[in-house]
Structure 1
Amino acid sequence: MNASLQTVSGPLPASAVRGPVLAHEHLALDLTRGADSAATLTPGHRAAITEELASLRAEFGLGLLIELTCRGMGRDVAAMARIAADSGVAVVAATGWYYEPFHPAELSRTSAERLARTLVGEIERGCGGSGIRPGVIGEVGSHGDRPSEPEARTLTAAALAATATGLSVATHAQFGRGGLAQLELLTAAGLSPDRVSIGHQDLLDDPAVHRELAAAGAYIAFDTVGKESYQSDRVRLRLLLALLESGHADRVLLSCDVSRHGYLVSEGGMGYGHLFRSFLPRLRAAGVDEEMIDRLTRRNPLRFLTGRDGADDGPPEPGGGRADGAPR
């Protein structure tokens, strides 16, 4: 039986995703709890976002986008559904809690078990009465080398909900730090490491940590590609090649983490397509072949979401294909 994904439009066979996957993006969010008024993607940006995704579908065959805006981040699953329908790109929505500065006040009084029940409710019945069900738990976060006590509870809740529902967990590791502690906590709560993606590892210039996470079975997310103010793509390329050369190609996920409107192409930013237009050509120039590119950009994220290698039913169609499997 073919593995299935839960998208904002309903279940989708993983084998229907014939083109690449963006493993960590945002389509609708609001992170203005601090002083950063630019950290938004609002209804006013929806047309530009839709146009970008439709263009990537036409040019590169973009088949799926994993949208990791969770509770407390301005999540709007109805907006995601409209963007998916209008762009032709399938979208997976998320649930969970971000890192501590974005936690609602009531989390300080709630056990991990009760938080897990909240997540399971969304996964089984949909977000906020919308009927739109999440297909992944994330981006559940921490900052620093070890999660704070509230972050430990929300990460534990994510692991409990994941084991109860069969979903995978994607984390936010602030500036790439704390990934080993996150994995320790998640697996201690019963989650298999191969259902975990540790976020923002391209911001951590520490190949030994990447190897240790991958050897444990977790996915390593190089998911801020193009964010040069945080890390240069030159360093990202070096770190990625080191991970591939150490034999961990099956544990890599790639994305750009568009998390503010200034990153949109319409506003002069790198856009969701920076991975395809800039970074992957540099990876090819470094000697990485198309089979490996397909593994990194399609087969790995599908396996992460489903936990099954059966997500891969053959090579992608030349030039990509529609998310529903029909020709473009």
Structure 2
Amino acid sequence: MQQHSDDAHHPLFLRTVTGTLPVSAVRGPALAHEHLVLDLDRAGDGGAVLHADPHGPAVTKELAELREEYGLGLVVELTCRGMGRGPHALARISEESGVPVVAATGWYYEPFHPAEVDGADVGELTAALVREIHDGFGDTGIRPGVLGEIGSHGDVPSGPETRVLLASAHAAVATGLSVATHAQLGHGGRAQLELLTGAGLPPHRVSVGHQDLLDAPAVHRELAASGAYVAFDTVGKESYQSDTTRLRLLLALVEAGHADRVLLSCDISRHAYLRSEGGQGYGHLFRSFLPRVRAAGVDEDLIDLMTRRNPLRFLTGADTKES
């Protein structure tokens, strides 16, 4: 059992799968949206999985190597209810790799909702989230440090997705956590943000997901100007979007003065993405994409802002330029 502490609610601390962690201990970059243990297999082909056995050791090895080579300081793991979450496996991966991991609660988008969402109203869903945030995952003693990835698909969330988004906002307000969303192929982010903020959640406690899949610089600027974080979190997934387009969109947002609202990650969500299986791996951001960002003229202070300070500000709710 991990030690619980009121420090989990203090803005200078993160809640990780191995206990509370001072923000000051995170000296290197963070991956703001990843999956280390996951099961989204609906086709029966075993592709959309990252199982503790057999994939856990390869995941652990990658994270340990990134800690050694790039100083990887944190992983925000957004596998939630109905997505094959594995708290014990996350704790083991974190301990063995030496990389702190923040785990999540919430519900993904509607095709992946478990039966518990059906027929439950916003109040019941909120209570379930608050209970898990306070008490932990089952009897593991491991508690979530973020709500995510809260999903919708299309330009407007469905009825069940709306209830889940509202419940997530209420639970976030009640517990002091932040909300990271899944906007399917980048669509629907404005509607998500409207629902979340309409329920009382400040925009700087929201990260709108998968915006690098949406070639719409004006939407990105609008989200950032509202105060929300804009997640470019599928870096390296070339079958969805080229990194060349991602780079153009990122540079446009930075040049518009919104580097302080950018989050970056790779969203590894299939075992074929692991380096051990010939994929780009969790380190694609550091090995491939950030060198291109630097070559485009972005300086090291802005790189640190986007990869370290922003994720920490998002998670803690610190709404300042510096952490």
Query: What TM-score, normalized by structure 1, do the two folds share?
Result: 0.93
Provide the aligned length of Structure 1 versus Structure 2: 313
SS, match of residue 235 in structure 1: helix
| Residue 222 (structure 1) aligned with residue 264 (structure 2) | no
The one-letter amino acid paired with 1:203 is: L
The answer (yes or no) to whether the contact 2:177–2:316 under 8 Å persists in 1 is yes
CA drift of 1:187 comes to: 0.6
CA drift of 1:309 comes to: 5.5
CA drift of 1:104 comes to: 1.5
Higher relative contact order (CA 8 A, sep 6+): 1
| Residue 67 (structure 1) aligned with residue 77 (structure 2) | yes
SS, match of residue 108 in structure 2: coil
CA distance in 2, matches of 1:214, 1:226: 23
SS, match of residue 118 in structure 2: helix
Matches within 5 A, 1:255-270: 255-270=265-280
The answer (yes or no) to whether the contact 2:106–2:147 under 8 Å persists in 1 is yes
Match of 1:246 among 244, 256, 262: 256
| Residue 177 (structure 1) aligned with residue 211 (structure 2) | no
Match of 1:90 among 100, 103, 108: 100
User: Measured at CA, do residues 292 and 168 of structure 1 come closer, stay the same or move farther in structure 2, by a change above 3 Å?
Assistant: same
Q: Give runs of ≥4 in structure 1 deviating > 3 Å.
A: 309-313
1:189-219 Cα deviation digits (max 9, x unpaired): 1100000000000000000000010111100
The answer (yes or no) to whether the contact 2:32–2:265 under 8 Å persists in 1 is yes
* Residue in 2 that maps onto 1:285: 295
Match of 2:115 among 105, 115, 119: 105
CA drift of 1:108 comes to: 1.9
CA distance in 2, matches of 1:164, 1:17: 26
SS, match of residue 298 in structure 2: coil
The answer (yes or no) to whether the contact 1:15–1:312 under 8 Å persists in 2 is no
Matches within 5 A, 1:204-223: 204-223=214-233
The one-letter amino acid paired with 1:37 is: G
SS, match of residue 253 in structure 1: strand
CA drift of 1:310 comes to: 7.7
CA drift of 1:170 comes to: 0.1
The answer (yes or no) to whether the contact 2:13–2:316 under 8 Å persists in 1 is yes
* Residue in 1 that maps onto 2:18: 9
Query: What TM-score, normalized by structure 2, do the two folds share?
Result: 0.95
CA distance in 1, matches of 2:225, 2:46: 39
The answer (yes or no) to whether the contact 2:11–2:318 under 8 Å persists in 1 is no
Q: Which ranges in structure 2 are unaligned for 5 or more consecutive residues? A: 1-9
The answer (yes or no) to whether the contact 1:135–1:167 under 8 Å persists in 2 is yes
The answer (yes or no) to whether the contact 1:2–1:15 under 8 Å persists in 2 is no
The answer (yes or no) to whether the contact 2:12–2:24 under 8 Å persists in 1 is yes
| Residue 301 (structure 1) aligned with residue 311 (structure 2) | yes
1:98-131 Cα deviation digits (max 9, x unpaired): 0000111231210111111111111111012111
User: Measured at CA, do residues 311 and 136 of structure 1 come closer, stay the same or move farther in structure 2, by a change above 3 Å?
Assistant: farther
| Residue 237 (structure 1) aligned with residue 254 (structure 2) | no
* Residue in 2 that maps onto 1:22: 31
User: Measured at CA, do residues 251 and 272 of structure 1 come closer, stay the same or move farther in structure 2, by a change above 3 Å?
Assistant: same
CA distance in 2, matches of 1:2, 1:141: 26
1:222-263 Cα deviation digits (max 9, x unpaired): 000000000000000000000001111110000000000000
* Residue in 2 that maps onto 1:322: none
The answer (yes or no) to whether the contact 2:11–2:316 under 8 Å persists in 1 is no
CA distance in 1, matches of 2:276, 2:114: 33
Matches within 5 A, 1:135-174: 135-174=145-184
CA distance in 2, matches of 1:311, 1:291: 12
CA distance in 1, matches of 2:118, 2:65: 43
Q: Which ranges in structure 1 are unaligned for 5 or more consecutive residues? A: 314-328
* C-alpha RMSD of matched pairs (Å): 1.3
The one-letter amino acid paired with 1:56 is: L
CA distance in 2, matches of 1:161, 1:15: 26
The answer (yes or no) to whether the contact 1:21–1:63 under 8 Å persists in 2 is yes
Identity of aligned residues (%): 71
